[in-house]
Amino acid sequence: MSRPQQRAWALAAALCAAVLVFDQAIKAVIENELVPGEEVELLGPLGLTLAHNEGIAFGLAGGSSLPLIAFAVLALAFVGFLLARNPAVPRMWVAVGLVAGGALGNLADRLRAGEVTDYVELGSWPPFNLADVAITLGVALFALILLREESR
């Protein structure tokens, strides 16, 4: 593996670890400080609440944990494949780190408790968490990278 490839993998792993650690730490604080359904106003429509869901990001598609666990494992394998295929693509490591960290954060919840802890409340949007935000930003970045690569 070349030095740039090693660097891309190391950066993706570091970002993944940071997202996972921050996600789990914030969830632990929220679980200890709030009771389910309690709402704490922060700024305008932004608030905190303690909610749990069995679905995917933003509480969508609730159901059995086993298919969602399998989906998370497949998603992790897929983003690893994308980085392995071409680690030199600019910002690919960022997208991989965000998606992997978010997927692992929610997977850890699902394996530990059978559901995901959500805490960010934003207007009428369903509660979500840092892992959901990381996954969403990572997927959006993947889309931008792939569109840019297609146009070349």
Q: Which residues are catalytic?
A: 118, 132
Q: Is 43 exposed, middle or buried (0-12, 13-18, 19+ CB in 10 A)?
A: exposed
Beta strands 46-53 and 125-128 are: unpaired
Separation between Cα atoms, residue 58 and residue 87, nearest integer Å: 30
Contact criterion met (CB below 8 Å) for 21 and 131 = no
Contact criterion met (CB below 8 Å) for 134 and 106 = no
